[in-house]
Chains A and B, each alone.
Chain A
C-alpha cells in the first residue's frame, strides 16, 4: 500500500514519502483493511518547487504492532479538498490548521474556524475581530464568557459556555492568545542548539518536549545515546510526571474545597520537583536533556537523595490518596462529572492520562518505547476489576485516580532505574552528527500529558526547513469541551483541572 512503515524516532528521505490521495487517509483510519491504524498527525510541508505546492504529511500509529506509518498527499496553497471531518472527527483540528496555515479549504467541514491566529495566517481574521462562536437561541439560554485573562495564575484562553440554565450545552474553546511563533524559531540556527526552546514549548512539560526534540536530532544525525543517559532521561521524565500529577491532585482537591489534600499534595510536589533541582539545577528539569544524552550525571550522593525522596513520597502520596478516594464528599464531586466515554475518546483521538481514563490503551512508553523504556520495560499496576473499571470511566474520578496510579508507577520505575545505573557506565553524552539533508523525521515521547510529537524536514544543508510540534493538548482540548456537556457550569474548573491542558503547547 501507499505508505511506509517506520519505528519511533526514525528518519527517511523526504523524497521516499509515498504519495496517495486525501481520501485514502480516511480509509487508513477507518477502512476495513487498516482498522488498527490511528491518526497521529497531519501537517503541511511547503515543497521546495513549485512555489505554492504543499505536501500534506500524515503519520499513523499501529499501537499493537509498535509501528508508525507515514504517507503524503500533494496539494497547494488555496486548494479545496473534500473534508474528512464529517465522518472522521479526528481530522477536524488538523484540517482547520491546514486551512489557517496554507489556506487549503476543506469542503463540508462543519466548523472551519481559526485555530491559533498565527502571525502569518492565510485566513483573513485577526484575534481582535472576534471568533465566530456558535450561538444558541431559546428563552432560558444564555452564554458565559471567560477569559482570556483568568482569575487564577494560569495561561490565557477564552471559554464560551452555551448554557441552558445552569446546564452547559456546549463549551467552545478559543485559543491562540499564547502564539509565539515557536515552529518558526526552531528553523533559525542549528537544530541541535534548540533544547532551551524545546523546553519552552510548554514549560510544565519541559523534559518531555526536550526529550522529543533531542530524539529528533538523534534520528536526523543517526546517533545512539549512551545507555546511562537514556536512564537518566527516563528518571527526569518520570520525576516530571509525578510532580505534575501531585500538583494536579492538589488542585483537584482545591476545586472541591478539600483543603488537606490541597496542601499536602502541593508539598509533595515541592519535594519531587526539588529532587529535579538537585538532579539538574532546575525544578522543571530544564537543562537536563540535550541531543546526544544529558548534561548531568547521577553520582552516588544524588542516587541516595533521589531514592530516599522518591520512596518517602511514594508512601505518603499513596496514603493520602487512599484517604481521598474513599471519602464520600470527595467522590460525590468526582464521580460522574465530566464524562468522556470510550467511543468518543477514540473518535476524537484523546491521548495521555485523559485517554487512558476513558478506556483507551494509549501510552508511548509501552507501544513505541525509546530510551530506557525500550530496555527496561515500564510496567503498569494492574487494577482489580471494580477499581480498574472505575479508573476507565472517563469521568473526573477516573482522571484523578489515573493520576494517583501513575504517580505510584512512575516512582516505582525510578526506584527500578536508580540501581541499574551501576550497570551502565558508558557516560552521559555522545556527540551528535549533523542532521542529514533531505530527510523527514518523527519523534514521539509520552510526556505527562500524553503523546508529544516533533517532526522535522531538512533541506539541502541539513537545516530544518519545516519544524512541526504537536503537544498532547492538541486533541485533548476538544475532549474537555465534550466533557463539560450536560454538566453544571460550576463543575468546569474541576473538569478543566482533571485534564490540565497546555495553552502555549497548543498555540505554539
Chain B
C-alpha cells in the first residue's frame, strides 16, 4: 500500500511553477487585447460583446468589463487580437481601458505600486480575506488555485485567511448581489486598518454581465477606492499573484 503511494509521489515529481513572475501561459490563453492602430469597430461588432466592454469612439476595450470571451476578435477583419499576455492587474479604474494602438508594455507600465507605508507593512506578509459576493465560483476556484502546489502564492508570504480579524485586506469576487451587500460591508468593517481592497474578475470590477441586473447592490463600492483591480473571467492565478506582487513592489 505504502509503495503505491510512494510511486504516486515519485510520478508527481516537482510541480511548482519555478518563477510565477516570469512564467508564461499557454499561447491559447485569451489575455491582453491589442487593437490595431487606426482600427475601427462596427456597431455589429460592438453589439457582440456580452458585457458592453467595447466602445466605438474612441475605439477601446474596457478590461474592467471584458470577459475575454474573444467574440469581438473572431469577426472577419477585426482590429482586435487577444494576446496570451496575462499580467493584467491595475491600480486605477481608468487604467483598465485599452485604446487602439496601446501596447502591452504601455498598459503594464500604468500599474502603480502601493504607498511606502503599505509596502513596508505588507511587503513580506499579506493576509487576505476572500468574500464571494455572487461570484460564479470560477474566480473563487482560481483564487484557491493561487495557493496550490503549482502557483504557491504562500512563497511570497501572501495567504488567504479564515477571519477578517486576521486579514490585511479583502479580496472581492462576483458582481455583489443585493443579498450579499450587508455581509460584504460587515466583513470589510471587521477588517482592521490599514487594509487593502482588491477586486478580482470582471464582475467584481464593473458588475460584468450582470451590471444591468436589478438583483445587484454595488453601493459598497461607491465612495471607496479599490487598491488593486484584477481583470479576467475568471482571472488566471498568475494574473492574481502578479497583480498583488506588482502592488507590493515585487513584480516584473
Q: Do B179 and A267 touch (CB < 8 A)?
A: no
The distance in angstroms between the C-alpha atoms of A180 and B209, with both chains bound, is 10
Interface: B155 (CB within 8 A)? no
- Residues of A contacting B148 with CB < 8 Å? 263, 266-267, 270
Q: Do B48 and A154 touch (CB < 8 A)?
A: no
Q: Do A149 and B131 touch (CB < 8 A)?
A: yes
Q: Do B177 and A178 touch (CB < 8 A)?
A: yes
**A268 nearest in chain B by CB position:** B12
- Residues of B contacting A263 with CB < 8 Å? 12, 148-149
Q: Do B138 and A203 touch (CB < 8 A)?
A: yes
Interface: B224 (CB within 8 A)? no
Assuming A180-B134, A197-B209, A260-B8, is B30 touching A154 (CB within 8 A)? no
Interface: B79 (CB within 8 A)? no
The distance in angstroms between the C-alpha atoms of A120 and B136, with both chains bound, is 21
The distance in angstroms between the C-alpha atoms of A319 and B214, with both chains bound, is 50
* Apart from the given pairs A263-B12, A270-B148, 18 other A-B contacts in the complex at a CB distance below 8 Å: A119-B213, A155-B137, A178-B134, A180-B134, A195-B50, A200-B203, A203-B135, A203-B141, A204-B141, A247-B141, A266-B148, A277-B29, A280-B28, A295-B70, A323-B1, A323-B8, A326-B1, A504-B134
Q: Do A279 and B28 touch (CB < 8 A)?
A: yes
Assuming A151-B163, A320-B8, is B213 touching A181 (CB within 8 A)? yes
Q: How far is the CB of B72 from chain A (nearest CB, A)?
A: 12
Q: Do B143 and A153 touch (CB < 8 A)?
A: yes
Binds B, one of A21-29, A65-73, A283-291, A354-362: A283-291
Would you mind naming 16 contact pairs between A and B with Cβ atoms under 8 Å apart?
A149-B132, A153-B130, A155-B135, A178-B174, A179-B179, A181-B213, A196-B209, A201-B136, A203-B139, A260-B5, A267-B15, A278-B28, A319-B7, A319-B11, A320-B8, A503-B137
The distance in angstroms between the C-alpha atoms of A315 and B180, with both chains bound, is 43
Interface: A322 (CB within 8 A)? yes
Enumerate B91-134 residues with CB–CB distance to A below 8 Å.
130-134
Partner of A180, one of B69, B183, B210: B210
Assuming A178-B134, A278-B28, A319-B11, is B210 touching A128 (CB within 8 A)? no
The distance in angstroms between the C-alpha atoms of A497 and B173, with both chains bound, is 21
Interface: A394 (CB within 8 A)? no
The distance in angstroms between the C-alpha atoms of A178 and B183, with both chains bound, is 12
Q: Do A155 and B140 touch (CB < 8 A)?
A: yes
- Residues of A contacting B214 with CB < 8 Å? 119-120, 181, 184
Partner of B215, one of A119, A204, A322, A323: A119
Q: How far is the CB of A163 from chain B (nearest CB, A)?
A: 21
The distance in angstroms between the C-alpha atoms of A176 and B183, with both chains bound, is 13
**A266 nearest in chain B by CB position:** B148
- Residues of A contacting B9 with CB < 8 Å? 260, 264
The distance in angstroms between the C-alpha atoms of A152 and B178, with both chains bound, is 22
Assuming A156-B132, A181-B213, is B5 touching A323 (CB within 8 A)? yes
- Residues of A contacting B11 with CB < 8 Å? 316, 319
Binary B-proximity of A250-268 (CB < 8 A = 1, otherwise 0): 0000000000100110110
Interface: A281 (CB within 8 A)? yes
Q: Do B136 and A185 touch (CB < 8 A)?
A: no
Q: How far is the CB of B179 from chain A (nearest CB, A)?
A: 5
Interface: B33 (CB within 8 A)? no
Q: Do A185 and B140 touch (CB < 8 A)?
A: no
The distance in angstroms between the C-alpha atoms of A178 and B139, with both chains bound, is 14
Assuming A119-B215, A320-B8, is B29 touching A281 (CB within 8 A)? yes
**A319 nearest in chain B by CB position:** B8
**A282 nearest in chain B by CB position:** B30
Q: How far is the CB of B149 from chain A (nearest CB, A)?
A: 5
Interface: A502 (CB within 8 A)? yes
Interface: B150 (CB within 8 A)? yes
- Residues of B contacting A284 with CB < 8 Å? 138, 141, 234
Binary A-proximity of B142-171 (CB < 8 A = 1, otherwise 0): 111100111000000000101100000000
Q: Do B134 and A281 touch (CB < 8 A)?
A: no
Interface: B87 (CB within 8 A)? no
The distance in angstroms between the C-alpha atoms of A204 and B71, with both chains bound, is 21
- Residues of B contacting A155 with CB < 8 Å? 132, 135, 137, 140
Enumerate A305-336 residues with CB–CB distance to B below 8 Å.
316, 319-320, 322-323, 326-327
- Residues of A contacting B178 with CB < 8 Å? 119, 179
Q: Do B15 and A277 touch (CB < 8 A)?
A: no
**B164 nearest in chain A by CB position:** A149
Binary B-proximity of A20-44 (CB < 8 A = 1, otherwise 0): 0000000000000000000000000
The distance in angstroms between the C-alpha atoms of A119 and B213, with both chains bound, is 10
The distance in angstroms between the C-alpha atoms of A260 and B162, with both chains bound, is 23
Q: How far is the CB of B135 from chain A (nearest CB, A)?
A: 6
Partner of B180, one of A177, A188, A201: A177
- Residues of B contacting A151 with CB < 8 Å? 162-163
Q: Do B209 and A185 touch (CB < 8 A)?
A: yes
Q: Do B180 and A148 touch (CB < 8 A)?
A: yes
The 6 closest A-B pairs by CB, nearest first: A203-B138, A203-B136, A181-B215, A151-B162, A323-B4, A181-B213
Q: How far is the CB of B22 from chain A (nearest CB, A)?
A: 18
Q: Do A277 and B25 touch (CB < 8 A)?
A: yes
The distance in angstroms between the C-alpha atoms of A154 and B140, with both chains bound, is 6
Partner of B137, one of A193, A202, A260, A266: A202
Residue among B71, B179, B182, B213 with the highest chain A CB neighbour number at 10 A:
B179
Residue among A154, A200, A206, A270 with the highest chain B CB neighbour number at 10 A:
A200
Q: How far is the CB of A294 from chain B (nearest CB, A)?
A: 12
- Residues of A contacting B134 with CB < 8 Å? 177-180, 504, 507
Q: Do B209 and A156 touch (CB < 8 A)?
A: no
Assuming A149-B131, A180-B213, is B179 touching A206 (CB within 8 A)? no
- Residues of A contacting B37 with CB < 8 Å? none
Interface: A393 (CB within 8 A)? no
Binary B-proximity of A456-493 (CB < 8 A = 1, otherwise 0): 00000000000000000000000000000000000000
Q: How far is the CB of B33 from chain A (nearest CB, A)?
A: 13
Partner of B210, one of A154, A181, A281: A181
Q: Do A504 and B28 touch (CB < 8 A)?
A: no
Q: Do A117 and B179 touch (CB < 8 A)?
A: yes
Q: Do A178 and B180 touch (CB < 8 A)?
A: yes
The distance in angstroms between the C-alpha atoms of A260 and B15, with both chains bound, is 13
Assuming A153-B130, A260-B5, A319-B11, is B30 touching A287 (CB within 8 A)? yes
- Residues of B contacting A507 with CB < 8 Å? 134, 177, 179
The distance in angstroms between the C-alpha atoms of A386 and B208, with both chains bound, is 50
Interface: A339 (CB within 8 A)? no
The distance in angstroms between the C-alpha atoms of A283 and B131, with both chains bound, is 22
Q: Do B26 and A504 touch (CB < 8 A)?
A: no
Enumerate A124-153 residues with CB–CB distance to B below 8 Å.
127-128, 148-149, 151-153
The distance in angstroms between the C-alpha atoms of A127 and B213, with both chains bound, is 18
Binary A-proximity of B1-24 (CB < 8 A = 1, otherwise 0): 110110111011001000000000
